[in-house]
Structure 1
Amino acid sequence: MAKSPDIFERHELKYLLNREQYACLLQRLQSRLLPDAFGRSTICNIYYDTPDFRLARHSQEKPIYKEKLRLRSYGPAQLYKPVYLELKKKYRDVVYKRRIELPLSAAVQGMQGSLPLPDTQIGREISYFRDFYTDLRPAVYLSYEREAYFAQTDPNLRLTFDQTILWRTQGLQLNLPPSGRPLLEPGQALLEIKTPAALPLWLVRLLTELKINKTSFSKYGRAYETWLMEQLAVDRRETCA
């Protein structure tokens, strides 16, 4: 697998597709896209948060600035396979992502504070984030199947389609197999368009023709909302009992 950049700065636009939109869009894009170096892959993530979900709650308030930290692997993590600690920030419509590559044990111990993270600019930024939110711990596991493409005429224009998005709040380890509860309805796919500039006119017209509209969607945020609603329902039942 090709090495991915460690620093990103780009716009990320999200679209929730039904089964028909997904199939039609892929068919119409065949002549314009190429599979990227990652192609089809299973992406596994551990999202870190405080015990009271401070980061998730802040994100749901739709602020102009928000940030989150996750540990990511491509497929279930293995002993000698690298994982990525990623610090993702969003200011208005621009996403900034910085990450470091580490062995799984070093990443986990680094987040626990029992082992220093690399003494690099990105490593120091992640260490500062960890220390600022003093009680960070693994909060949610999220995995999904991703198809990734780039435009033939502009490699910086990337499109990814995520399906089989699963989440859980138990078994928060990257070396465990992907499993959990589905985040989307059957047949749905999440399209993310990632670009450093405005969308090309041909793509805007195609999305308009297929009635595919931009949406605000956070996988971690949606999982948190689902968990919160279930906790509130449990509390109501216990109150009425």
Structure 2
Amino acid sequence: MEAQKIFKRYEYKYMLTLEQQSELKEVMKQYMIADAFGRSTICNLYFDTPQYLLIRRSIENHVYKEKIRLRTYGQATPETNAFIESKKKYKKVVYKRRISASYEDAMQYLCQRADVIPHSQICSELDYALSLYQEIQPAMYLSYEREAFYGKDDHELRITFDQHILWRTEDLNLSSPVYGRELLQPGQVLTEIKIGHAMPLWLNHFLTEHHIYRTSFSKYGTAYKTLLMEAGQNRRISMHC
């Protein structure tokens, strides 16, 4: 089972067209290597309070953001290796704490507070978060097809391409099939550039020449805003009936 990990990096997001993605991947061949897993299906359960406190604070507060999620690669079985992640963003720097466990143990820990995760500093930080948000529970399922690459000379440089982002607020179980509502428009590719320090010149030149600019797109945040919008529309419809 994979050891616990700590990440500290800058993450920048861009919305690309399929044509821009193809052009960038061609340039990347000189500087980057495909991840060992290649293209993979990433499945996530985002945990939140019944009032969606974490995502509301994330949307309202641009200085500090916090998310707690459970991740597997593909549809899970009880024995599947799963990753419990605490992701915090402060002043544009992302701090991610991650520990791994079987999917069954991870769900027992997160949903029932069962003492089934080996004790560690990261586990203590997760314990604190769970005690702070006592009503925390699975709130949203999010999956996507991802292609990941890392730098040949700088392994802290990572570029990922996410497509077919699906979300749902029912059947909140990673052992269920991959399905849901599409989050992106046809032909859109959410691209994330993750760096430990400065953006490499070749990449900065490509983005500048193609007029590609950063976006503050959040998968969970965008899906949550869709829920709010639809709830508002339903209220207006009921008032006129």
Taking structure 1 as the reference length, the TM-score comes to 0.95
CA contact (8 A) 1:139 1:172 kept: yes
What's the CA shift for 1:114? Answer: 4.2
Q: CA RMSD in A?
A: 1.4
Q: How far apart are residue 53 of structure 1 and its match? A: 0.7
Q: Which amino acid aligns with 2:90?
A: Y
In structure 1, C-alpha distance between the alignment counterparts of 2:42 and 2:101, rounded to whole Å: 16
- Give the C-alpha shift of residue 3 in structure 1: 4.9
CA distances 1:34-59 after superposition (whole Å, capped 9, x unpaired): 11223211100000011111111111
Q: Any residues of structure 2 matched to 1:27-42 within 5 Å, and which?
A: 27-42=26-41
State the partner residue of 1:195: 195
Instruction: Answer whether contact 2:3 2:99 (CA < 8 A) is retained.
Output: no
What residue is the counterpart of 2:233 in the other structure? 233
Structure 1 unaligned blocks of 5 or more: none
Counterpart residue number, 2:12: 13
Q: How does 1:159-198 map to 2 (within 5 A)?
A: 159-198=159-198
Asked if the contact 1:14–1:217 (Cα under 8 Å) also holds between the matched residues in 2, the reply is yes
Identity of aligned residues (%): 49
Give the drift of 1:31: 1.9
Deviation at 1:124, TM superposition (A): 1.1
Contact 1:118 / 1:124 at 8 angstroms: preserved in 2?
no
1:220 and 2:224 matched: no
Structure 2 unaligned blocks of 5 or more: none
Amino acid at match of 1:42: T
- How many pairs were matched up? 240
**CA deviation after TM superposition for structure 1 residue 118, in Å:** 2.8
Deviation at 1:62, TM superposition (A): 3.6
Residue identity in the other structure for 1:98: R
Residues 71-111 of structure 1: CA deviation (Å, up to 9, x unaligned)? 10011112222101100000011100001111112111111
Deviation at 1:63, TM superposition (A): 2.5
- In structure 2, the residue matched to 1:121 is 121
Q: Equivalent residue of 1:233, what SS? A: helix
In the alignment, what sits opposite 2:136?
136
Q: Deviations over 1:148-194 (max 9, x none)?
A: 00122211111000011000001100011110011101111111011
Q: Tell me which residue corresponds to 1:152.
A: 152
- Following TM superposition, the consecutive aligned residue runs of length 4 or more in structure 1 with deviations greater than 4 angstroms are 2-5
Q: CA deviation at 1:196?
A: 0.7
Q: Secondary structure at the match of 1:69?
A: strand
TM-score w.r.t. length of structure 2: 0.95
- Paired residues of 1:34 and 1:149 also in contact (CA < 8 A): yes
